[in-house]
Structure 1
Amino acid sequence: MADSDRVRFSRQHINARCKTLVTYRLLIHLGNGVYDITREGKQYLTGELDARNLGAE
C-alpha cells in the first residue's frame, strides 16, 4: 500500500485506527507506536469472530 499512488494515509491516521482496535481488544499497544494482534484479532481476521459482538472497553 505504501508504494501505491492510490492509497494515501498518515501516521496519525494509522495510530488513530490502531487505538480504536485496541478498545475492541483486537490489538494490544506495546508502546512507542508498536502494536500486536490479539487472539481475538486473529480470530476476526480468519472470520471466526463477528466484530458486531464486540463491545468497546
Structure 2
Amino acid sequence: VYGRFIENNSKIGGLIVLGGIGLGMWTSNIWSWFAICKKARKLYISRLNKLGESE
C-alpha cells in the first residue's frame, strides 16, 4: 500500500512540475506577446506621425 502511495504521489508531483513549466512558458509567451504589441504600436504610431508630417 505504501509503495503504491509513493507511486501515485510521484505521478501527481510530475504532473504538477509539468503544469508549472507549461504555465511558466505560457505566461512568458503572453509577456513577450505584450512586448511585441507595444513595439508594433510604437512603430505604427511613429509611421502615422511621419505620414502626417510629410503631407
Regarding TM over 0.5, the answer is no
More helix by share: 2
Max Rg structure: 2
More strand by share: 1
TM-score under structure 2 length normalisation: 0.30
